[in-house]
A and B are shown apart, each in its own frame.
Chain A
């Protein structure tokens, strides 16, 4: 009888240890590792939120569920930084439909044509936002083009005067969409004037875009 009791006690202790061990082992066991993956292209997509994502995320750092109007990431403080870039005047081409500016956009336009549509945005950010090559390559990704080398960037980014300052005019034609954009470094900020739409509409609106860029006058407090 004593042996039987002892057996039960031993079984019991073993069981307790086994269960405790199983419970305590529930820690994160991920370790540094190396793995091979199929060749990846860097995505330009906006990551989506988990289930039940609200249209307007509460945290400004949270990636939004829907595609942002601007492909530029809205970092916290970016909107305020854009507001400090200063004001500007322009003349809206007759074929363009002016849209309300919002977020980091200082101006926004919509173009509807028989062949499709295009979106025009004006944004300004402090610093060089990664430099000319990085900015143009970000646009390349948005129209499905492979990244360009510094030399290729120098070829596609033609010098263009915007608001009496030296800027660049860039035309990027992807498989179905194009971007025609002006880039202007201006007193510590970089201004982006970007028209993005289907290839035909962008070509059709090239002249209007150049007229728009020629009409742009940035408020210059530095002279």
Chain B
């Protein structure tokens, strides 16, 4: 045990882990070209182990496509580095004033590792498009979908019953929360082609209600895309079961959205709109876009600056605030950060990246601690050197 602890706290392990981190970053960077940043991040840095595969798109890909290389993922390396550093402090370092700078640097580093873990586990990213002179009280996640049943019968609000798509497993039944309805999944496709069943060889659609029947559309599965600029067309055939038994089978898809007539499920006098849509995050405030500015360098199409003038109107009016969002100047409001992300519709729609990251302050604190630690450590050496050089 003693030997194991010594190894875990050793500097050799630190060096080995840092070397492995460099290897991970190298292969992650190669795969990022093919899979995009989002997928690579999940595969390499938010995982315990990763197997790199020599891509056919690389030089001599046809000859080396059999080549595989397993390596520890980001969670393994980050976790071990954290354990290694903490173990070193417990077993080897002694708290003295002479080492106070090193302690500060290491504490900053531990905080940085923890903040990275917190960001991975707790942060939520989504996008909020807002039209000029329009407003929005929700943002979309472009990677996650939800099956929703919306009751629009109340006069002053809508009731949304949401089921994350991870519950849509073939032949499994899940309760629609706070209703008498159940949903049995017949098929769920994370990405699909939506086509029209007009040709004779079109697959038979299991749908018996809604758009699948009225518009003659059907879904066929296809490979999930990880490209940063594409959205997966999630689709599902779901059987809705009421208190008296099955009501029908609907085709729902995130491309059959608000632009299409709503698909309705009715039981007695109660009706719900049913839809599969990009997961929404609703907020108790509205972001109103007053003006979006897209400046270019004179005589060119090269962007110089994007900025959005917004008012965040909170239900509690004392919290309402006006802000100008532009590059590196996000709006921080109600625990969320709104970054200027993109624009659309001939510069009349601004798109914000909305990030909820409870640990956003930690990296700043850790960098400050490390900076302070280095100043203390080098400062002590410097003054010691000065004292040595000065005449007695």
Give A residues with C-beta under 8 Å from B: 5, 8-9, 11-12, 15-16, 19-20, 22-23, 25-26, 28, 30-40, 42-54, 57-59, 61-63, 65-67, 71-73, 75-78, 81, 84, 126-131, 134, 137-138, 188
Contacts and interface: CB of A to CB of B under 8 A. Distances in A.
Contacts of A19: 79, 82-83
B57 interface: no
Nearest to B5: A12
Nearest to B131: A45
A32 B174 contact: yes
B161 interface: yes
A127 B351 CA distance: 36
B260 A130 contact: yes
Given A42-B258, A43-B258, A51-B341, A32 B157 contact: no
A66 B344 contact: yes
Contacts of B195: 75-77
Given A9-B1, A130-B260, A34 B161 contact: yes
Contact of A58 (B163, B164, B229): B229
B35 interface: no
Contacts of B8: 12
A35 B161 CA distance: 7
B120 interface: yes
Given A19-B79, A25-B121, A126 B341 contact: no
12 contacts: A26-B120, A36-B158, A37-B137, A37-B160, A38-B137, A38-B158, A42-B258, A44-B258, A48-B349, A59-B227, A62-B231, A127-B216
Contacts of A137: 261
B27 interface: no
B235 to A, nearest CB: 10
Given A53-B342, A63-B231, A32 B46 contact: no
Q: How large is the interface on B (under 10, 10 to 19, 20 to 34, 35 or more residues)?
A: 35 or more
- Summarize B's interface: helix, strand, loop or mixed: mixed
Interface in B127-148: 127, 129, 131, 137-138, 140, 142, 144
A77 B345 contact: no
A48 B344 contact: yes
Interface string B251-287: 0000101111110000000000000001100100000
A84 B117 CA distance: 54
B225 interface: yes
B231 A71 contact: no
A66 B216 CA distance: 27
B163 A48 contact: no
B94 to A, nearest CB: 14
Contacts of A134: 214, 260-261
